[in-house]
A = this chain, B = another copy of it.
Amino acid sequence: MIKEFLEQTRERVLGGTYRTFYSSPLVVGSASGCTITDVEGAEYLDAYNNVPVIGHSSPEIAEAVNRQLLRANTHTRYLDRPVIDYADQLVSVFPDRLESVVFACSGSEANDLALRVAAHAAGRDGVIVTRHAYHGTTRSVAEISPSLVGLDEIGEHVEAIDVPGWDEPEFDAQFAAAIRQGGIRLERRGHPCGAVVLDSALTSDGIVQPRSLVATVEAIHKLGAMYIADEVQSGFGRTGSAWGFERLHVVPDLVTLGKPMANGMPMSAVIGPRDVFAAFGESQRYFNTFAGTAASAAAAGVVLSALESGALTERARSGGARLTAQLAEIIGESEVPARVRHNGLMLGVDFLDRSESNTARRRASFIVEELYRERVLVSTTGPCANVVKLRPPLTISDEELDSIARGFGVALQRLEIAERSHGE
Contacts and interface: CB of A to CB of B under 8 A. Distances in A.
B57 A62 contact: no
A266 interface: yes
Nearest to A67: B62
Interface in A254-301: 258-259, 264-267, 270, 272, 274-275, 277-282, 284-291, 293-296
B266 A266 contact: yes
Contacts of A28: 72, 74, 78-81, 294
B137 A286 contact: yes
B69 A57 contact: yes
Copies of this chain per assembly: 2
Q: Which residue among A27, A36, A80 has the maximum number of chain B CB atoms within 10 Å of its CB?
A: A80
A270 B27 CA distance: 24
B71 A49 contact: no
A290 B105 contact: yes
Interface in A116-148: 116, 137-140, 142, 148
Nearest to A38: B78
A296 B266 contact: yes
A211 interface: no
Interface residues of A, number: 104
Contact of A78 (B25, B58, B267): B25
A74 B99 CA distance: 32
A87 B13 contact: yes
B109 A278 contact: no
A401 interface: no
Contacts of A13: 84, 87-88, 90-91, 99-101
Given A13-B100, A49-B74, A66-B66, A6 B105 contact: no
Contacts of A267: 266, 290
12 contacts: A10-B87, A18-B76, A27-B78, A27-B80, A28-B78, A66-B66, A106-B288, A142-B284, A258-B289, A259-B289, A266-B291, A266-B296
